[in-house]
Structures are given as structure tokens and as C-alpha cells.
Amino acid sequence: MVLAHNLALASNWIQADMVEASEFPHLANKYQVYGVPRTVINEVIHLEGAYPEDMLLTELMQVMDEEVVSHL
């Protein structure tokens, strides 16, 4: 969570939300949260577990690639 918030601080394009799954069950359901942390980026990238900084960056930068996004 801290990493995502730091990314938000570093870029005007990034917004990072903590969502407490048990308080928003409809969202947990929508995004199929069975374990935490689960990270959802732009509705299309889904990550299970805590990601180290370099790996999260790689996943995040996929949003720049139309081709990749269209297949997600």
C-alpha cells in the first residue's frame, strides 16, 4: 500500500486507493478478492500478493501498451 501511495505522490497520472475489502464487499466481489493484498490497476491488471517495487513498475507500465491492454 505504501508503495502504491508513493507512486501516486511521484506522478500526477497515478491515483492509489486503499480499499478495505470487508467494508466494501460489492467491490471485493466485483474484483474477485479472495486473498489480500490484491491489486487492481485500471480495471485490467490484477495482481495477487505484495509486489516488490520493480515488479509492480513493470506491471503498471503495461497500461502504456495498447496492444497488451487490449488483450488483458
Which CB atom, from 10 or from 71, has the smaller least distance to another protein? Answer: 10
Contact 50, 37 (CB under 8 A): yes
Return left, alpha or beta for 24; rule: phi > 0 is left, psi -120 to 50 is alpha, else beta.
beta
Among 22, 49, 67, 70, binds another protein (CB under 8 A): 22
Cα separation of 33 and 29, whole Å? 6
Asked if 67 interacts with another protein (CB under 8 A), we say no
- How many residues interact with another protein (rule CB under 8 A)? 43
**Residues interacting with another protein, by CB under 8 A?**
1-24, 27-28, 31, 33, 36-43, 53-54, 57, 60-61, 63-64
